[in-house]
Every structure is written in C-alpha cells, then in structure tokens.
Structure 1
Amino acid sequence: MDASEAMRVNRALNKMSKLYRAAKARKLATLGLHPGQDVLLWILAQEPEGMTVSELAARLGIEPPTATRSLARLEGGGWFRREPVATDRRQVRIVVTEAGHELLPAIEGAWAELAEQAMGDATDEQRELTIIALERANDRLRGLVDEAVLAEE
C-alpha cells in the first residue's frame, strides 16, 4: 500500500471511530446511558442468574475495579441489583432487574438504527463485504493490542 492510500485508510478509520462513538453517545443519552454501559447491561442480561463482578469483567475484557466503577455509575438507574454470593461473602452477584430487561429493546434498537444509518443505502452485498472487511481488520488489529484496550470502547 502506498503512502497516499495508507493516509486515506487511516483518516477514514479515525474519522469513523470518532463519529461512530459520538453518534452512539447521542443515541444512548436518550436512554440515560453512556457508551459502554449499553454493552455492560446487555451482557449482564444474557445471564438470568446474573454474574459476579469478576465474571462480568472477564466477559468484557476489563479489570474488576473497572467493572465496579462502571456498575457504580449505573447504580441509580435501577437496572440491576446486587445479591450476595452464598459461597463467598466477598463476592456479589449482579442481576439485571425487570427495568433493565425492559431497556434492552431500546438498546438493541439504538444499535440497529446506528448500523442502518452508518451503512446507508449500501446494497446487501456491499453491507456484507463491509462487515467482512471490518471483521478481518479487527482480527488483525486485535493481535497488536492488549485486550484491555478494547474494553475502553
């Protein structure tokens, strides 16, 4: 790849990353969420019995203190509750409440709207090729960075 093409790729990816995050932040703000909190709630909701902070952190690829801080920021929404773990007093299980489950369709709707807006009038074939190219790029880049960096997204 020549320098001109490399510049175009870098510029496009940087701009898309910034714009996507900003657009996602606006959509999630209407739900009372910040980027990252949507994924955290969605992952928690996939486990009917809930999960410990350590399990959640592992699933998100972040450290437990980071998961604890993220949960603290979400605390006021009433979207989850903390339950003691009978076998370990130091642990709590985070369980999504009914209010949290009711928020999931809106989260998924925001994701769908954002994806639709980002893809625009691309044909089904163009969408599939774009997704494949992005997934392959992600796979290649994943090997270059620490997984903890990905959790910040």
Structure 2
Amino acid sequence: MDPNGELVERLRALVRLVRRIKQEGAGHHPVLPAGLVTTLTLIDRSTGCHAKELAAHAGLDPSTVSRAVGTLVAHGLVRRRADPADGRASVLVVTAAGHAVLAQARGWYGDLLSRALAHWDPAEVDALTAALGRLTADVEATLEASR
C-alpha cells in the first residue's frame, strides 16, 4: 500500500472543501464573480502586474487568466494601466471598488475560519499553518525540479 495514500485522500478532501468554500463565499459577496477572489487577491498583492505574470503565478493558462481579468475589469474591480516600461503592454491594478470587495471577502473568509477553528489551540493553528506552508513549498520545488 502507498504510504502517502492517506495524505493524498486528505488533500483531495481539502480541495473539495476549498471548492465548496468558494461556492459558499460567492453568495456572500455577490459583486465579485464566483471563483475570482484568488485572481483579485493575486493582483492586489502586487503593485501592478501583467496578465502573463499573473498566469504564471496562479499556475493557470493565459487564456483563463485573460477571461478572468476581463470579467474583473467589466465589474470595475480591476483596471488596466499603461505600462511605462512597455507602451504595448498594460499593468493590472485593483480599483477602489475592488479593494472594498476584497475587504468584504476577506472578512467573510476570516470569520469562517475563526468559527471553524474556535476550539483549536493557537499552537495547533500555528503548526497547521507551518505544515501547509512547508508542504506547498516542497511540492512546488519538486514540480520545478522535475521540469
């Protein structure tokens, strides 16, 4: 039997849970189109980024990112600004409306986790946070090394 079989099953369950959280969250911040919180967050974390960089960072196909960005722009949550270094390119920037929607979404997600982890000891939360960070970094490094 595969020694990592249980871990794989737990990760699959976590992915399903993340999808469910995204669906539930979309109903609580209807201004933000479903599934675009992550895209908007990635744009917000930069001081402006190109769609190509966003696709690489998110691990998504550029056409998928292009559609997502188009939707965010159409909803007034992101704007395209001319790139001063390259007149042919544009930089993506979160608008004031986008920041307000992100604050609402972060509040909802934060409240959900606070309620779900209310009976956890802070050391358990810290240990989980560290373990997830390490797992993510190690899997990403392994994927990069196998290219």
TM range (shorter): 0.7 to 0.9
Structure 2 CA distance, aligned partners of 1:114 and 1:21?
A: 14
Higher RCO structure, 1 or 2 (CA under 8 Å, sep 6+):
1
- TM (norm. structure 1) is 0.72
Find out whether 1:26 has 2:24 as its counterpart: yes
- Alpha-carbon shift at residue 68 of structure 1 (Å): 1.4
- Deviation digits for residues 66-109 of structure 1, max 9, x if unmatched? 32122123233111222333553431222222111211211221
Equivalent in the alignment of 1:134: 132
1:43 CA drift (Å): 2.8
1:24–1:114 Cα contact (<8 Å) kept: no
Identity value in percent: 23
Equivalent in the alignment of 1:150: none
Question: For residue 63 of structure 2, what is the aligned residue in structure 1?
Answer: 65
Q: Mark the runs of 5 or more structure 1 residues left unpaired by the alignment.
A: 147-153
In the alignment, does 2:42 pair up with 1:43? yes
Q: TM-score, normalised by structure 2?
A: 0.74
**Residue 107 (structure 1) aligns with:** 105
Say if 1:95 and 1:134 are closer, same or farther in 2 by CA, change over 3 A. closer
RMSD, aligned CA: 2.8
Instruction: State the aligned residue count.
Output: 142
Q: Given that residues 44 and 51 in structure 1 are in contact (C-alpha distance below 8 angstroms), is that contact kept between their aligned partners in structure 2?
A: yes
Alignment CA distance shift 1:80-1:5 (3 Å):
same
Instruction: Tell me if the contact between 2:50 and 2:92 (Cα under 8 Å) persists in the aligned partners.
Output: yes
